[in-house]
Amino acid sequence: MTAPQLPDENERIKTLQNLNILDTPPEERFDRITKLASRIFQVPIALVSLIDTDRQWFKSSAGLSACETERDISFCGHAIEHDDIFIIENATEDHRFFDNPLVTGEPHIRFYAGCPLVHPNGHRLGTLCLIDQKPRTLSDTFRKTLYDLAAVAQLELIENQLTKVDDETGFHNQSGFLEIGNIILPVCDELNLPVSAAIIEIDGLEALQHLSPYTAVLSIIADTFNLEYRSSDLVCRYDQNTFCSLVTNACRETTFATANKVRNLIAQKLHDASLAEGLTLKTAVAEKQPNMTLEELLNETQKQLNITP
């Protein structure tokens, strides 16, 4: 069955185009969402898909090399007809999709679940969707989780990126970190996934701000974080001297090992580049306890940092 046109199609397309996001390069803020979704739901493919006039274009695609497909054969083109999550448990047994080329050929879709991404003006622009190559169902808990992750994708889609990102490192700033972290944390609570926060504090960094080594130091910091942290982890520059990470589905020991490795690598790279003078690096980690808020988790991490020699 061909994906339909919506009654508000002209205005919907105009809204999508006004976001100026179509055909833009991949971005960590979206890739983090799809990779987290793939890991949480244990599906091989997760997408942020935007429905253009005659195609579905993927702003982020975990597990799929294609960047777009024809709208006529898209599952997401059907999903945006609905306010609720659109679920196909076994595409080979569904009269709308059994002969779809995405079912009979690559990527051999069997299970599909797509949650609409809705603009504040009400237009459904695309989906955060899950794809599996074997039939399955989606429990009520997982439905809620998909809603919550779609809310993160929706927020990223419509928010002005510049207000949520530190322009010197490309990481989320404090505002973006808190906004997204406060959505991710309840998702992990629902699924009983462990969550830890790590802080790496670099004393003396702010004092370099107007000096020539500053850009090189920040480049080393950003490159090391990007290399060692998973793209599904939430990383931010919390203030001038402080970098935070929110690590999901990993125990405190694993989070500490990663943070400690990042600290040591940064210190070594700064030393090798003769940029270490005046800079002191400290690390602390705390694991989220039941009913702990993000603010409380960060406060506990800061307490651990304060007692670090």
d(CA 63, CA 61): 6
pLDDT over 70 (residue 5): yes
pLDDT score for 221: 97
Rounded to two decimals, the pTM is 0.77
pLDDT, mean over the chain: 93
- Confidence category of residue 160, pLDDT binned at 50, 70, 90: low
Ordered structural domains, the chain, with CATH: 9-158 (3.30.450.40), 172-306 (3.30.70.270)
Instruction: Give the mean model confidence (pLDDT) for residues 144-163.
Output: 85
Q: How many CA atoms lie within 13 A of 76 on its CB side?
A: 28
pLDDT score for 307: 82
pLDDT score for 267: 97
pLDDT score for 226: 93
- What percentage of the chain has pLDDT greater than the value 70? 97
- Confidence category of residue 189, pLDDT binned at 50, 70, 90: confident
pLDDT over 70 (residue 276): yes
- Confidence category of residue 309, pLDDT binned at 50, 70, 90: low
Instruction: Give the mean model confidence (pLDDT) for residues 28-39.
Output: 90
pLDDT, tens digit (0-9, with 9 covering 90-100), for 204-221: 999 998 888 999 999 999
118, 127, 132, 55: which is closest to 88 by C-alpha?
132
